[in-house]
Amino acid sequence: MTKKMQGKNRLKMKFINRYLESPLILASGILGTEAKLMARVAATGVGAVTTKSCGLEPRSGHQNPTVIAFEHGLLNAVGLSNPGVEAQVTEIKKLKKLLKEQQLKTKVIASFFGFSSQEFIQVASLLAKAKPDYLEMNPSCPNVASENKECFSDTPSGIYELTKAVKKVAGDIPLIVKLSPNVADIVSIAKAACEAGADAICAINTLLGMAIDLESGRPILTNKMGGVSGPAIKPVAVRCVYQISQAVDVPVIGLGGVSNADDALEMIYAGASAVGVGSAVYQNGIEVFSNINDELDSWLIDKKIKSIGKLRGKAWSSDKNV
C-alpha cells in the first residue's frame, strides 16, 4: 500500500478466503505482462493484480492492428499473446517477491487459458506451482474462437465439466471463472460453474465487436473481430453482475467499463464483491486506481459508512425475483 492508502480500512473487502485491501482489481490483459509493471500497479493501492492470461506454449498473438480506441471504449484482438506457462511461473514468483519486498498486501490472480480441456488442466496445475493467491480461468476470450477445439463458455455443461476438471488440479488455490457476455443466458453458465466448484465468478469478458475503416472499406483489426471493453459495455456488465450475484453463493468480480468511483460503486450496488478495472488505464493512466480509491474513501467518510462491503447488493432490494 502507498502511505496514503494505509488505514483505509473502509475499503477492505472480503473476497473468498481473505480480505482485499481495496475492492479494485487490475483486470486481466491490461499491463499484466511483467512483474515490475504489475508491482507498479500494486503500489497504486489495488486489492489484487491479474496477470495476463497465459497458455501452455508461448504465443505472439494476432498481427497489428490489435488494439484501437473508438468513441466509447476499446476494441482489441490481441489474441492471447503470452510467454507460455513456464515463463509465467517465473514472472509470478518474481512479482510475489517484489510485493513482499515493498511490503504490499496486494493479492496475485493468475489468469490462464487453453485450447482444450487437457490444456486448461495442464496450465492450471503448472501455474499453481507459482502459488498465486487465486487462479482465474479464462475460457471466454472472444478472439481465439477459431482455435478452440471445444466450446467451453457458451454452455452450462461445457463450463461445468471444465471447471470440475480444473478444480481438481487447483489444490487449495481458489478458482475464479471468467465468463463471456456473448451468450444467451449467462446466469445458467455462472450457476453451472459454481455447481462444479468455482470459488468466484468474474463477469464480464469483452463483448464481440468490430470496426470498419471507411477509406479502405476493411475491418481495422487484422483479426476482423475483437473484444469491446470500456464505458460502452458498462451497462451490460452491471446487468450481468446484478443477475449472477443473486443467483450464486460465491463472490463476483464486477468488470466492464469501470473508470471512476461512481462506476465502481455501481458494480458493488449490483452485487460485486470486487471491481475489475482495465480499459480505463487508457484514459487515465496507471493513476486511475489510486484516484478511484481516494474518491471512494472520501465518499465513504462523507456518508459515514464504515465499510464499503455494507453496500454490496444495495440494488437487489428493488427486485427480489430476478
- Residue 228 sits at φ, ψ, to 5 deg, of -90, 130
CB under 8 A: which stretch of 31-39, 110-118, 151-159, 202-210 binds another protein? 31-39
CA distance 132 to 107: 8
Q: Is 281 in the site for another protein (CB under 8 A)?
A: yes
Whether 141 is a known active-site residue: answer yes
**Could you tell me the smallest distance in angstroms from the CB atom of residue 219 to another protein?**
9
> Could you tell me which stretch among 13-21, 123-131, 162-170, 209-217 binds another protein (CB under 8 A)?
209-217
φ and ψ at 277, to 5 degrees? -130, 130
For residue 257, give the nearest of 273, 245, 241 by alpha carbon. Answer: 241
What are the beta bridge partners of residue 251? none
* Catalytic-role residue among 141, 194, 202, 240: 141
Alpha-carbon dihedral 236, 238, 244, 246, rounded to 10 degrees? -140
Q: Is 78 in the site for another protein (CB under 8 A)?
A: yes
Minimal CA–CA distance to 140: which of 77, 182, 176? 182
Contact flag: residue 87 with another protein (CB under 8 A): no
Q: Which of 282, 307, 309, 316 binds another protein (CB under 8 A)?
A: 282
Kindly report the number of other CB atoms within 10 A of residue 145's CB atom.
12
Closer residue to another protein, CB minimum distance, 4 or 72: 72
Question: Which residues are near another protein by CB under 8 A?
Answer: 29-34, 36-37, 39-40, 52, 61, 63-74, 76, 78, 81, 211, 213, 215-216, 218, 220, 222, 230-231, 259-262, 265, 278-279, 281-285, 291, 295, 298-299
